[in-house]
């Protein structure tokens, strides 16, 4: 069978719970920090964080810390046997001589208890020479403080496009980042075995890279370091790069003391030491023809990368590749640049730049629709990609008609037109409360921008009793990847799911793995798991063919039985076949491999085919806004998302729901604030706890929440016809902000552009609707 074809019966497509759901809800699931109690003589690490956004360390005296009872050692740059750097770009000193953000660790204290380590860190004497700090995108632009490449996305001739445009608008838009706020903070646990092998338990989305960074800090080869990720309590991209340094600290401590070392950040440390979603500033100019169709877009995107590059370059590249979202724009010129600021090194976050790019074009359309005399949803529909059209970076938009199907189906199912009429009547009768309904699309490319990452491996064992153990390179962070991989293996081998067990992700089982990121975990690892299973199944088919007297191609595996095609009554049990194969000296294990075909990408010219396919979706959101306070409610949300033929529908529905809610948090609530004043706390993160950084809760959920998966949506060339689901649903939440924009505009006259800050907090919505009221008053005064 091909990669995407499904057998008549199998575990894929079954709506089953997450494989660890019962462990999660009973508290029995183990995470990295839970494993330390199994080790004797455990040491605890605590960072000494710098109280400056930018400063030079002029003196570091660790001797007083060693006088604190329980303190065993203080780690500093002098202790590093390898390379004092924890970044893949070699721009992130593990122990810095120059502090680059407020809260950066300058040394780590190891002690018998976390409290002793904390007291030891307080006893360390450090002297700093404060240096000027850059904290905002505006400051970075003024100082020309940039880092990394500055790519440009081009198609056509924007000058010609603007000449042909009937309407030209311009503006700018700046929006904040977002804190990952995973339930489990960063954690690592390291110890040495009797041969000197370093073993690290890490809460990491990228075990192979954690292995590489720890090895070069220790001055060891990768083969001397093993990293295991049992599971994570959330990641969202925040554990793709950020865990490497913490794992290196634990490993360095274990190497120098010969004792196991535990690193676990508390919530404040995690918030102040780790990167966030990249904030962006966009300056744009756009042209439309007489019918409201996009003609030209010229823009400059400036992202805030923080103090080091981290993943800022590919994040910016994906933002450029998604500034079109679902819309065809004939003439495009978009410049990108990364600001270097004295803040945490901003990093991957669900969507990886895609949401930022989409926000720009959706903000443009939301602002321009009234000026064009069109309803926002109609302006969006008119500009959808048509079959045969390509993106500005040269990739054909495959299945463009699917976006139209999603859109039309959702408008019909959500009773969009009827509810619009109801809202108009409601607003006419309520001067101090307004409602609005908005719909926005999503077209999101699936694959890593960096082509080499689009590969995966797996190891599948079939034991003599017929039981199966699988191991793959992907990591589990609650998204259900392990559940899907078990379903893939069970289906490929024709077994009940109960016969398949999964082992934790380890670098000594499957090497050189890519990060579990870019929504590609199931595509890549599923392809590798299926490849390994197909190898085993092929060998077993040869054995069965001899016993059944048929050709191997006519052997069928289904529900734990092996039989000739068309004769399920004449077969044998799986266990019997495996036993027979063993005695015939048949290999019962296989290493699987998969790489995504057809990808090519030139990051200099920003041209190529970086994505295997596009995921499509749309969301309709209805809100109600109070005119006195700006407070609002989500009355209803209708979501329709394309996941191909779902591998695991219950898992996928949960991912769509969760992605939407997390996106709504970014759109409306989550407001990262740094102290940008000139006082002693300049550069300090002000929102460094759950009391000051507001997350979405049940009270912010839509009162009516309807989520569905697109039917009859097989994606050829992907494991069992499925599609990725991790990141794309987050962008469905753009509909929330667009609904709030329209509700604020309803307090004023029509035909005017309505600006709205992001996050659209009640305060921001209040000032937006107040501007609408003032516009109404001005129009009345002008008429008088």
What is the 3-class SS of 201-220, one letter each residue? EECCCCHHHHHHHHHHHHCC
Per-residue pLDDT tens over the stretch 645-696:
999 999 999 999 999 999 999 999 999 999 999 999 999 999 999 999 999 9
Per-residue pLDDT tens over the stretch 186-222:
999 999 999 999 999 999 999 999 999 999 999 999 9
The predicted pLDDT at position 780 comes to 82
Per-residue pLDDT tens over the stretch 114-157:
999 999 999 999 999 999 999 999 999 999 999 999 999 999 99
Backbone Cα Rg of the chain: 28
The predicted pLDDT at position 779 comes to 85
CA 460 to chain centre: 28
Q: Which pair of structure tokens corresponds to residue 254?
A: 């274990």
In whole angstroms, give the CA distance from residue 477 to residue 573.
Answer: 35
Band (pLDDT 50/70/90 cuts) for residue 782 is confident
CA angle 137, 756, 378 (to 5 degrees): 120
Of the residues 19, 622, 670, 727, only one is catalytic, namely: 727
Q: Which pair of structure tokens corresponds to residue 157?
A: 């001739």
In whole angstroms, give the CA distance from residue 294 to residue 287.
Answer: 6
Output phi, psi for 181, to 5 deg.
Answer: 50, 45
In whole angstroms, give the CA distance from residue 180 to residue 277.
Answer: 8
Contacts of residue 736, Cβ cutoff 8 Å, sequence gap at least 6: 621, 623, 634, 637, 663, 664, 667, 668, 760
Residue 497 has pLDDT above 90, yes or no: yes
Contacts of residue 503, Cβ cutoff 8 Å, sequence gap at least 6: 469, 470, 471, 509
Per-residue pLDDT tens over the stretch 66-124:
999 999 999 999 999 999 999 999 999 999 999 999 999 999 999 999 999 999 999 99
Please tell me the number of Cα atoms within 13 Å of 280 on its side-chain side.
30
First to last CA, the chain: 76
In whole angstroms, give the CA distance from residue 359 to residue 175.
Answer: 9
Q: Which of 335, 398, 327 is nearest to 361 (CA)?
A: 327
Count of C-beta atoms within a 10 Å radius of residue 306:
26
Residue 147, classed as helix, strand or coil, is: strand
In whole angstroms, give the CA distance from residue 753 to residue 745.
Answer: 8
Contacts of residue 665, Cβ cutoff 8 Å, sequence gap at least 6: 178, 695, 696, 700
Please state the rounded mean pLDDT for residues 617-628: 98
Is 14 annotated in the active site? Answer: no
Q: Are 233 and 31 in contact (CB under 8 A)?
A: yes
DSSP 341: -
């Amino acid at each position: 069978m091909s990669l995407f074809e499904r057998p008549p019966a199998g575990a894929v497509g079954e709506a089953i719970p997450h494989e660890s759901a019962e462990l999660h809800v009973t508290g029995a699931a183990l995470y990295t920090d839970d494993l330390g109690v199994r080790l004797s003589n455990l040491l605890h690490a605590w960072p000494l964080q710098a109280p400056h956004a930018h400063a030079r360390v002029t003196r570091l005296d660790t001797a007083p810390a060693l006088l604190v009872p329980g303190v065993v050692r203080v780690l500093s740059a002098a202790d590093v046997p390898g390379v004092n750097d924890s970044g893949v770009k070699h721009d992130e000193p593990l122990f810095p001589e120059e502090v680059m953000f407020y809260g950066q660790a300058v040394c780590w204290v190891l002690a018998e208890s976390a409290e002793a380590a904390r007291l030891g860190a307080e006893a360390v004497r450090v002297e700093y020479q404060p240096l000027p700090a850059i904290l905002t995108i505006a400051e970075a632009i003024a100082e020309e403080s940039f880092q990394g490449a500055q790519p440009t996305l081009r198609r056509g001739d924007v000058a010609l496009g603007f000449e042909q445009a009937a309407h030209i608008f311009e503006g700018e838009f700046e929006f904040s980042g977002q804190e990952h706020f995973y339930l489990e903070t960063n954690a690592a646990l390291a110890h040495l075995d009797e041969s000197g092998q370093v073993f690290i338990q890490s809460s990491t989305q990228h075990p192979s890279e954690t292995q590489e960074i720890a090895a070069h800090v220790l001055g060891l080869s990768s083969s001397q370091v093993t990293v295991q990720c049992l599971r994570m309590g959330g990641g969202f991209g925040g554990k793709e790069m950020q865990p490497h340094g913490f794992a290196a600290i634990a490993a360095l401590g274990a190497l120098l003391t010969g004792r196991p070392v535990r690193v676990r950040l508390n919530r404040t440390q995690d918030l102040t030491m780790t990167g966030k979603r990249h904030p962006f500033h966009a300056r744009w100019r756009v042209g439309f023809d007489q019918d409201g169709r996009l003609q030209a877009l010229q823009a400059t995107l400036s992202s805030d990368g923080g103090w080091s590059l981290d993943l800022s370059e590919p994040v910016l590249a994906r933002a450029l590749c998604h500034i079109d979202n679902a819309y065809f724009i004939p003439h495009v010129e978009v410049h990108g640049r990364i600001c270097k600021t004295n803040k945490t090194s901003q990093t991957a976050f669900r969507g990886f730049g895609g949401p930022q790019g989409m926000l720009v074009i959706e903000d443009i359309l939301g602002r321009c629709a009234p000026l064009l005399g069109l309803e926002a949803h109609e302006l969006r529909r008119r500009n959808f990609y048509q079959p045969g059209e390509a993106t500005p970076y040269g990739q054909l938009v495959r299945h463009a008609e699917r976006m139209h199907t999603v859109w039309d189906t959702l408008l019909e199912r959500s009773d969009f037109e009827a509810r619009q009429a109801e809202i108009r009547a409601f607003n006419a009768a309520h001067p101090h409360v307004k409602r609005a309904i908005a719909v926005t699309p999503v077209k999101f490319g699936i694959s890593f921008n960096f082509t080499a990452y689009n590969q995966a491996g797996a190891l599948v064992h079939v034991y003599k009793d017929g039981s199966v153990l699988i191991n793959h390179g992907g990591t589990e962070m609650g998204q259900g990847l392990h559940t899907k991989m078990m379903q893939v293996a069970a289906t490929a081998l024709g077994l009940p799911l109960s016969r398949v067990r999964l082992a934790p992700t380890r670098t000594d089982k499957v090497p050189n793995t890519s990060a579990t990121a870019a929504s590609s975990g199931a595509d890549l690892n599923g392809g590798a798991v299926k490849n390994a299973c197909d190898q085993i199944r092929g060998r077993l088919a040869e054995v069965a063919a001899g016993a059944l007297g048929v050709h191997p191609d006519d052997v069928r595996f289904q529900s734990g039985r092996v039989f000739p095609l068309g004769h399920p009554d004449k077969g044998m049990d799986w266990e019997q076949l495996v036993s027979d194969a063993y005695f015939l000296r048949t290999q019962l294990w296989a290493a699987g491999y998969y790489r995504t075909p057809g990808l090519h990408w030139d990051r200099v010219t920003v041209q190529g085919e970086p994505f295997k396919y596009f995921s499509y979706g749309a969301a309709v959101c209805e809100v109600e806004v109070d005119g006195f306070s700006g407070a609002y409610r989500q009355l209803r949300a209708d979501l329709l998302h394309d996941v191909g033929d779902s591998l695991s529908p219950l898992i996928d529905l949960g991912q769509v729901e969760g992605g939407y809610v997390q996106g709504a948090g970014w759109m409306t609530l989550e407001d990262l604030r740094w102290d940008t004043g000139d006082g002693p706390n300049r550069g300090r993160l002000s929102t460094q706890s759950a009391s000051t950084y507001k997350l979405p809760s049940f009270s912010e959920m839509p009162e009516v929440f309807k989520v569905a998966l697109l039917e009859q949506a097989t994606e050829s060339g992907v494991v069992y016809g499925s599609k990725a689901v991790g990141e794309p649903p987050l962008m469905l939440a753009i509909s929330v902000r667009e609904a709030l924009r329209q509700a604020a505009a309803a307090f004023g006259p029509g035909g005017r552009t309505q600006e709205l800050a992001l996050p659209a907090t009640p305060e921001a919505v209040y000032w937006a609707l107040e501007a609408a009221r003032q516009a109404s008053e001005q129009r009345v005064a002008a008429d008088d």
